Structure 1
């Protein structure tokens, strides 16, 4: 086994998912950001997210929308409104700090007490050399925030508690998410040999359809310390101990 591999490019990871026939149906339309691509997807979906190709903790993510009076975008807790697209795009560029960005079809996330949430699905290459989903946990955005990341003020809650408000069959939903994680793990390892763990951020829309927003190849396991079932975190760490270690 080679040393664990970290893949930083969101674009490369998205491309790997799109090559898989099963997974491609669960990936929101995602393209490199330009003035033309942003205008096109905004016209098509009404709301999109733009995010840096390389970045962590939701830093730099913006939500862009068409409104009755023009356009608006939000970064952190600040919302800016514009009458025309050109002015908005110029303002967005100032916030990108010359980094490369992606435009992604906007998914309207389910909410918990008025706040958006998504799910982190932790999937690992198990001792039996098969991909196994070892934990699923919910992340609820802080008030007035557009990202759910714990490091950006998000709150950690169990997936069961979050889903119970929206479906009468939580167990079936979790099984589907587990399968999705395992399929994504295989696809990532096929594209990037040396990947042994992934954390996929999954949004559920109003019809409970899952969407893979992002794949992290170095996911933070410690959010699972907040899982009420202590065996979940223990198993995640036990599997992590089996990954090849650097000699440094």
Structure 2
């Protein structure tokens, strides 16, 4: 008697349309699977009381973020300061800062903010600043009409003075990379540095696409520390292309839009 196979209820992945991947931990693992990229990924774990306390002890400052979320919503910065009996804990959510004398008190309060959502805890990177405000970079990488990966734009995002996130949709300001790096690198070195970021962006795109077939575009959020070491904070598979309209060089957005139209995003 023949066994009747049940038909799969999973929808096949369309390789003609851009695929969206929501899980931040999944995308992080995809990037970490590539040895050459691993050094650029800050330690990231699923958050619970144990992982949060361990990482605070090690790094003194961490960020916790929802595993699924956009525009920097829900991101919280947590710090441990002081030694032994004089230790104190604090976290900032939005523009609100709360302080505590014990980890347990802080964690109980934190759970009221995160509720039952799944959160990640990530090593905190002390970002470079522009006029006193922290900034990071968004690296846009797309598939060309010939289905090759290309870094089509890089733009800087400067955080609102009262906030911890740099996202434009959360009060951040957009600036050119040249403007932001002028203070840290001479002109001759800036070009080579940006080229390295472009190459890294393509490597990240290939890593994501290997695990998640059908991804056509990514936005890589890159932090720079005081040594100009780039850190891959997050990968977005549905990045906002319109922020690049703010750049003076209008050819950048024109190309981004042309590629996005080719794979059906716009």
Range into which the TM-score falls when normalised by the shorter chain: over 0.9
Alignment of 1:78-227 (within 5 A): 78-168=96-186, 169-227=189-247
CA contact (8 A) 2:16 2:263 kept: no
Q: Within 2, Cα distance between the matches of 1:128 and 1:78?
A: 48
Q: Within 1, Cα distance between the matches of 2:147 and 2:17?
A: 15
Q: Per-residue CA shift, 1:98-143, capped at 9, x if unaligned?
A: 1000000000000001100000000001123221000000000001
Q: Return the offset for 1:244.
A: 4.4
Q: Within 1, Cα distance between the matches of 2:155 and 2:55?
A: 30
Q: Within 1, Cα distance between the matches of 2:99 and 2:18?
A: 44
SS in 2 for 1:219: coil
Runs (5+) with no aligned partner, structure 2 = 1-14
Partner of 2:69: 55
Q: Within 2, Cα distance between the matches of 1:79 and 1:167?
A: 34
Q: Within 2, Cα distance between the matches of 1:237 and 1:244?
A: 10
Q: Within 1, Cα distance between the matches of 2:265 and 2:259?
A: 13
Q: Return the offset for 1:51.
A: 0.2
Q: Within 2, Cα distance between the matches of 1:125 and 1:26?
A: 23
Q: Within 2, Cα distance between the matches of 1:245 and 1:225?
A: 16
Q: Per-residue CA shift, 1:58-114, capped at 9, x if unaligned?
A: 011000000124110001111110000000001110000210000000000000011
Partner of 1:2: 16
TM-score scaled by length of structure 1:
0.97
5, 20, 27: which is aligned to 1:13?
A: 27
Deviates more, 1:165-174 or 1:27-36: 165-174
Q: Within 1, Cα distance between the matches of 2:170 and 2:105?
A: 28
Deviates more, 1:1-10 or 1:203-212: 1-10
SS in 2 for 1:60: coil
TM-score scaled by length of structure 2:
0.91
Q: Which runs of 4+ in 1 moved over 2 A?
A: none
Q: Within 2, Cα distance between the matches of 1:172 and 1:82?
A: 45
Return the index of the structure with the highest Cα Rg.
2
Count how many residue pairs are aligned between Structure 1 and Structure 2. Answer: 246
